[in-house]
Chain A
Amino acid sequence: MSIELGHFALILAFAIAAVSAVMGLIFWKRDAFAGYLQQGALLQFLLVAAAFGALIQAFVTSDFSLKLAYEHSHSLQPLIYKITAVWGNHEGSMVLWVLILVIMGAAVAAFGRNLPKDLLTLVLAMQSLLAAAFLGFTLFTSNPFLRLVPAPYEGMDLNPILQDIGLAVHPPLLYTGYVGFSICFSFAIAALISGKIDAAWARWVRPWTLVSWCFLTLGIAMGSYWAYYELGWGGWWFWDPVENASFMPWLAGTALLHSALVMEKRNALKIWTIFLSIITFSLSLLGTFMVRSGVLTSVHTFASDPTRGMVILALLAAFIGGAFSLFAFRASSLKVGGLFAPISREGALILNNLFLASATAAVLVGTLYPLLLDALVGETISVGAPFFDLTFGAIMVPLLIVLPFGPFLSWKRGDLIAVTQRLAGAAGLTLFATILCFALTGASVSLAPLGLLLGFWVSFGALAELIDRAKFFRTDVVTSFRRLFGLPRTAWATAIAHFGLGITVIGIVAGSAWQEELVTTIEPGQMATIAGHELIFQGIKHEEGPNYTSDAGEFFVRAPGGDVRTAVAERRIYVASGTPTTEASIQTYGFSQLYIQLGEPQADGKSVIRVWYKPYVTLIWLGCLVMAGAGFLSLSYRRLRIGAPKPARAHGVPAE
């Protein structure tokens, strides 16, 4: 019964979204419609939430009369995986996607009371249009509410690779990021239709950009860590098309974050910011298309169905094509404003955008090229990690070199020589740290010193900005600390985010340059050594999990410091599907990790093991956490939230 209610709620949400979209786009000049659309947005949210709730209920109670639950769940699955199984499949994940879309719409409706009525109406109408399109897609091509008669007694189980806490966290975070950019898209379209765009517009859009960017950062980092520990070959980024699909909106979103800053502070880069808003969400849609349509095969695809692919492609073409036509038609009517010298904060942010946009383009072309070449010429080529490492890396290096200069430059006209002098300390420290690292480890890998240099440079450069603004070493310590804590939160957020980026770069370089690997056969009682860690194999135990059986290989691991642990690496067989998986054992020492993977037992009773020592590898994800944290910090700054009372300026430090 509740399944039919959920189905009905989803249909009703579709109808309301469609009506809201049409009414909003026709009557946006009439103030009264803002109220209707606000209510419409809230209703869409409530209805889709109800539909989603109905799906969760069916999965939790193992109601296999629901086809979706039968195909993707099993009564023996732990509760958490019964819940996450709702979006561990195509239909359910579309509902989650739409749910987040309508949550965003409802949030605009709830918090957007200060927006001009016409802008609010247009934004909500665009959100409703997106909701209607994707609700329609869900209902007509991927209906999650189909029933089975007679109901089977048992389900077919969720794909074992997806039976992981990662599925509970990664898709919701990633989707929030993806879909959050729809708000920026809708604001951009609204600005193009109404023809009104100014610094205030940028201020309204920025919190949404920030929220989406933070969630996308977390989602990508989480996905990367999940792949790292679950796929079991120790890599953390594969330049897989589905990874690129999430990375491109992130790159474009990062550019948008910076260009919106210029627009907000200096009223410049308007057309470009609008363009980026459209591009960022278009890339999110492209990602959805690539992952959902089945043009690519991966764990993310779940099921490939050509009809769905064509429909999503049509939606994609309509939204992106429509948006760019509107842009081409209206962009020239927007006024250009804000003058600045090339050497200035604006100039630095333009440089940032130039590099990020080129990097996005390189990744986009690399991702789509093999598909297009195959479709148009019929030649199949692979574009893999070596290509992306080279092209993406080549564009990122100059960006990282100039990055620390940006925050030091003043608006309008900056003094590069003075800034260089102020960064001299950070540069010296960078060189010292890099040389120290190499002296300590004695490594001589060709590109590693450059990479490490960049990582330290970005990190120290970010900290140098805070120290400089607090006037450390130029005034007494107490005043400096007072200045430091009196700095606006946005200054802190900028420094912390850039610091996080530096940390990630250091993690990437260290993790790949000094990684050690050991592949060997081992028998119980035997010892293997890697990077000073001694592994004593204890043998394999057969264990029964809730819905799988497992061969667990146990190791005593003694670290160089004397720390002794038991590590268990497993090979599992999932009962329902008979699918085997490997569960690597990952031991963390400080920022470094030991990654133990167990192979098939051999006929002679020995086992093959593959062990990696990955120094400082966790910095990769910690850096991402720091970046996202900085985003949230910036978001908590009251001046960013329109309508919030102005905070008292602390200790006379000029707020930015």
Chain B
Amino acid sequence: MRWLVALALLLALSAPALAVRPDEMLADPALEARAREISEGLRCLVCQNQSIDDSEADLARDLRLIVRERLTAGDTDDQVRAFLVARYGEYVLLNPVLAPHTILLWIAGPVVLAGGALVVLIAARRKRKVATGVSELTAQEAEALKELEDK
């Protein structure tokens, strides 16, 4: 495992050429724009959290060329992504798909927000029912606070 990490690091560091190169670009600007957009969502598999659009590694270049090849062949954006997923697995997608194994990932934020809001509402309602007219600071606490302020 460690040699793999070392290899990945080496690959990532050994070729600081530019990411997208002029000679890779497609002549058709609309197609090229689509290629760029797709590239930004694809992971360079040997790098640290870089999209193939940003990466200088040779593998990223290969992937960029594949994307452009597929687009020129008339694939839709989704078909291009599907092709790469079939080849390299879901790991290649920087934006995870919505599927049973990722459902928890996608709903975690909203669920916490909704759950939190519910707890706050319940707590607020209960507090209003239980206690009315309770002083905020007890006399003792207020005195302690005042003493600190006056020091």
Contacts and interface: CB of A to CB of B under 8 A. Distances in A.
A382 B116 contact: no
Nearest to A335: B138
B93 A233 contact: no
Contacts of A203: 145, 148
A240 B127 CA distance: 42
A150 interface: no
B21 A339 contact: no
A387 interface: yes
B94 interface: yes
Contact of B148 (A267, A382, A521, A642): A642
A580 B13 contact: yes
Kindly list the 10 A-B residue pairs having the minimum CB-CB distance in the complex, ordered from nearest. Answer: A384-B94, A362-B109, A386-B95, A599-B18, A365-B108, A358-B113, A361-B112, A233-B54, A380-B91, A369-B105
A516 interface: no
B22 A384 contact: no
B81 interface: no
Contacts of B22: 519-521, 608
Interface string B114-127: 00110010001001
B108 A199 contact: no
B87 interface: no
A232 B94 CA distance: 20
Given A304-B5, A387-B94, A643 B109 contact: no
Contacts of B148: 114, 200, 203, 642-643
A471 to B, nearest CB: 27
Interface in B74-111: 89-96, 101-102, 104-106, 108-110
A302 B107 CA distance: 34
A609 B150 CA distance: 64
Contact of B101 (A299, A373, A609): A373
B105 A581 contact: no
> Interface centre among B16, B23, B89, B141, by most A CB within 10 Å?
B16
Interface in A457-477: none
Interface in A466-500: none
Interface size class of B (residues with CB under 8 A): 35 or more
A293 interface: no
Nearest to B151: A643
Given A381-B96, A385-B94, 11 more contacts: A233-B50, A297-B8, A354-B113, A355-B113, A381-B93, A387-B105, A391-B106, A519-B20, A520-B22, A579-B13, A610-B18
B68 interface: no
Interface in A309-356: 336-339, 342, 350, 354-355
A354 B94 contact: no
B109 A359 contact: yes
Contacts of A387: 94-96, 105
Given A198-B144, A232-B16, A520-B22, A646 B149 contact: yes
B11 to A, nearest CB: 12
B25 interface: yes
24 contacts: A198-B144, A199-B137, A233-B19, A238-B49, A336-B127, A339-B128, A355-B113, A357-B112, A358-B113, A361-B108, A366-B108, A369-B104, A379-B90, A383-B94, A385-B94, A387-B94, A387-B96, A395-B113, A580-B14, A599-B18, A600-B17, A600-B18, A608-B21, A609-B18
A413 interface: no
Contacts of B128: 339
Interface in A600-655: 600, 608-610, 639, 642-646
A522 to B, nearest CB: 10
B39 interface: no
Contacts of A579: 13
Given A267-B137, A365-B109, A639-B149, A384 B49 contact: yes
Contacts of B43: 382, 384
A199, A238, A381 — which one has the most chain B CB atoms within 10 A of its CB?
A: A381
A394 interface: yes
A200 B48 contact: no
A395 B113 CA distance: 8
Nearest to B135: A337
Nearest to A160: B13
A149 interface: no
A558 interface: no
B73 interface: no
Nearest to B56: A233
A235 interface: yes
A266 interface: yes
Contacts of B139: none
A507 to B, nearest CB: 20
Nearest to A365: B108
Interface residues of A, number: 71
Contacts of A566: none
Interface in A30-71: none
A588 interface: no
Given A233-B54, A599-B17, A386 B94 contact: yes
A297 B94 contact: no
Given A200-B145, A382-B94, A610-B19, A366 B105 contact: yes
A105 interface: no
A575 to B, nearest CB: 16
B101 A377 contact: yes
Contact of B136 (A114, A267, A384, A571): A267
Contact of B91 (A200, A233, A382, A600): A382
A391 B141 CA distance: 42
A297 B106 CA distance: 24
Given A233-B54, A381-B96, A382-B96, A297 B112 contact: no
Contacts of B54: 233, 235
A410 B51 CA distance: 47
B27 interface: no
A600 B136 CA distance: 68
Contacts of A268: 136
A22 B103 CA distance: 45
Interface in A179-211: 198-200, 203
Residue among A298, A355, A361, A379 with most chain B CB within 10 A: A361
A529 B110 CA distance: 45
Contacts of B104: 365, 369
B112 A358 contact: yes
Given A200-B148, A297-B5, A339-B136, A381 B117 contact: no
A581 B16 contact: yes
B131 interface: yes
Contacts of A381: 90-91, 93, 96, 101-102
B147 to A, nearest CB: 9
A199 B141 CA distance: 7
Contacts of B136: 266-268, 337-339
Nearest to B109: A362
Contacts of A358: 109-110, 112-113, 116
